[in-house]
Amino acid sequence: MMILEVAKSAWRSLASNRLRTLLTMLGMIIGTGAVVAVLGIGEGARSSVETRIRSLGANLLTIRPQSAAGSGGVRSGAVKTLTRDDALALAKLPGVKAVAPENSGSAQLRYMEKNKNASVVGVTGAYVEAKSLTMGSGVAINDLDDEQRSRIVVVGANVAKELYGSASPLGTRLQINGIAFRVVGVLAEKGSGMGSPDDGVYVPLATHQNVLFGQDYLSTISLQAASEGESASVKASAERLLRLRHKLRDDQDDDFEVRSQTEMLETMNQVTGTFTALLGSVAAVSLIVGGIGIMNIMLVSVRERTREIGVRMAVGARRSDILLQFLFESVVVSLAGGALGVALGYGAARVLASFGQWSTVVPMYAMVLALGVSALIGIAFGVGPARSAAKLDPVEALRFE
């Protein structure tokens, strides 16, 4: 019997029991849909996190102070180790495009009858460039504002919406801890996420240190490398320079921490990849359940069609023809269920991702993998019933009631 005839015969058999065929496919539909949905949501979440991190600058290095440690490894307590002189020295390193020293604190904002508690960040003129920010309206803080300790403020997009609504904040007086500041600019919206500038307000660094909080140290130094590829070398140079400036011995730990966005990006990719693989593996168990369902139905089908198998063998059908027919039926059911499951999983991923406010990214490999696994399951779980059908004795099959 030719392959085409085998396919036609198998298709007629499946079409004659539509409801049973659909119920048999249901396990594969659910299993494949679950795998595709999980991979789509995981890939979408990874892509969203990567986009947000890159929007802050993939070539950005962040230096923060930390406790000093002696040779015994005992922490001596939290000390403020970064200064503006450190920032000036770092700006002279090769491969450094911009250096932005900053200090942060929390303060009460007030405009007319509206109040809000927000992060207040002291910055210099290099801040916007180093953080890859853009101004939505007005002007940014410059170095002259810092030198003169000007009482001006640039507000984040979310702060502007909450305090001013649809009105323009430019030129208004915003009180920060009871001190009046003139709003000169509004940052363009960056989007929610870790370290988003939308929820803060920004004042000159000298004003922040001397007028608002009375601090002479820095909470962060942001370093922008000339390119993402130079981040590693700039990081190494910055660590060496700071150890020399802070007079740290070889047996002492760093009293600072240098983190790069590239490292954070790699870490987040590893974390999201691990969780996606874990959840995908759990969802793949349902594919095995679907395969068992196919095997059960095919065994029932062999028993129901025993006389048909005997008649076909009596008129010349070979055992290989019987084997191919039942195997083909199993693969068709599995593949059809897999195809419907891919469509269902893609739709489910889009719906679920909309609640998490990220885009759905269903990679091509997920769909190919789902269909490939469906075909393999159809073969693996269909070969047993197909062999049982092919091994039937024609005479006994014809006598079967």
Residues 124, 233 within the same domain: yes
Contacting residues for 365 by C-beta, under 8 A, at least 6 apart = none
pLDDT value of residue 57: 60
The amino acid at 286: S
CB 225 within 8 A of CB 59: yes
Domain end point (choices 197, 223, 254): 254
Domain end point (choices 254, 275, 295): 254
Range of the domain at 177: 67-254
b vs e for 26-52, b when ≥16 Cβ sit within 10 Å of the residue's Cβ? ebbbbbbbbbbbbbbbbbbbbbbbeeb
CA distance 151 to 148: 9
Residues 48, 74 within the same domain: no
CA distance 266 to 253: 25
Residues 221, 279 within the same domain: no
Within-domain flag for 59: no
Query: What does the DSSP 8-state code read for residue 373?
Result: H
Residues 39, 80 within the same domain: no
Residues 18, 92 within the same domain: no
Within-domain flag for 355: yes
The amino acid at 287: L
Residues 329, 195 within the same domain: no
pLDDT value of residue 7: 61
Residues 45, 80 within the same domain: no
CA distance 190 to 343: 33
Within-domain flag for 196: yes
Residues 227, 90 within the same domain: yes
The amino acid at 217: Y
Domain end point (choices 200, 219, 254): 254
The amino acid at 78: A
CB 231 within 8 A of CB 260: yes
Residues 196, 217 within the same domain: yes
CB 379 within 8 A of CB 330: yes
Contacting residues for 160 by C-beta, under 8 A, at least 6 apart = 169, 186
Place of tokens 């990874």: 46
Name the β-bridge partners of 118.
107
pLDDT value of residue 69: 44
Within-domain flag for 61: no
pLDDT value of residue 387: 75
Which pairing describes strands 179-187 and 200-204: parallel, antiparallel, or unpaired?
unpaired
Query: What does the DSSP 8-state code read for residue 69?
Result: B
CB 149 within 8 A of CB 207: yes
Contacting residues for 237 by C-beta, under 8 A, at least 6 apart = 93, 94, 95
Contacting residues for 149 by C-beta, under 8 A, at least 6 apart = 204, 206, 207, 210, 211
Helices (H), 246-318: 261-304, 306-314
Q: Is the dihedral of CA 235, 236, 240, 243 positive or negative?
A: positive
Residue 162 is encoded by which pair of tokens? 């909450």
| pLDDT tens, residue order, the chain (401 aa) | 456 665 666 666 666 677 777 777 787 888 888 888 877 777 777 777 666 666 656 678 888 887 544 434 433 334 578 888 898 999 888 988 888 899 988 899 999 888 889 899 999 988 888 787 889 999 999 999 999 999 999 999 999 999 998 899 999 999 999 899 999 999 998 766 556 788 889 999 999 999 998 888 888 898 888 777 787 888 889 889 999 998 888 888 888 888 877 677 777 777 777 777 776 777 677 777 777 777 877 777 777 667 777 777 777 777 777 777 777 778 888 888 888 888 888 888 777 767 766 667 777 777 777 778 778 887 787 777 777 777 776 656 566 55
Total tally of structural domains belonging to the chain: 2
The pTM for the full model equals 0.58
CA count, 13 A, side-chain hemisphere, 134: 6
Within-domain flag for 171: yes
Within-domain flag for 211: yes
Within-domain flag for 62: no
Residues 44, 81 within the same domain: no
Residues 353, 293 within the same domain: yes
Within-domain flag for 381: yes
Residues 151, 28 within the same domain: no
Residue 54 is encoded by which pair of tokens? 């890159």
